[in-house]
Structure 1
């Protein structure tokens, strides 16, 4: 920019523009870094959900086996009660 006081281009304006450009670049870099961290966090959350679902599936299978075992015991007890009532 032209400075009326001394007839020269103002270095102050150029340095402000340079400073603004550097700040814009830094802001973009930090934003990109934040997006990367968010992506990693989302990936970890998905992995945790998958692990939880696998564990729940295993727990469900165990519960199903336990229920089957208890039903067999109930059936056996019913047979024994019927035998005793005769």
Structure 2
């Protein structure tokens, strides 16, 4: 009986080791998955920030163009007023 009890103890220990290995493998896979998710979130954030910065730069350019156009319109109006005065 003592030999039979020893085999069942070794079998139980072997099973516990296999369970622990599976738990370790599962934890490792979960950690890798979390790492990949973190990298993906970082890339998404970077892309959004880049897009936001480009939108901001586009707005700045549009504002500058609008200012330039307004100055040109003001100049043309001024010239037209002078021409109108000369014609009176």
Question: Which residue does 2:64 correspond to in 1?
Answer: 65
1:71 offset after TM fit, Å?
Answer: 0.5
Question: Which residue does 1:75 correspond to in 2?
Answer: 74
TM-score (norm 1): 0.72
Question: Which residue does 1:12 correspond to in 2?
Answer: 11
The alignment yields a C-alpha RMSD, in angstroms, of: 2.3
Question: Which residue does 1:30 correspond to in 2?
Answer: 29
1:40 aligns with 2:39: yes
Question: Which residue does 1:54 correspond to in 2?
Answer: 53
Name whichever structure is richer in helix by fraction: 2
- Deviation per CA, 1:18-42: give whole Å up to 9, x if none: 2111110011111111121122222
Equivalenced residues, count: 82
Q: Which stretches in structure 2 are left out of the alignment for 5+ residues?
A: none
Q: Which stretches in structure 1 are left out of the alignment for 5+ residues?
A: none
Which structure has the higher relative contact order (CA within 8 Å, separation 6+)?
1
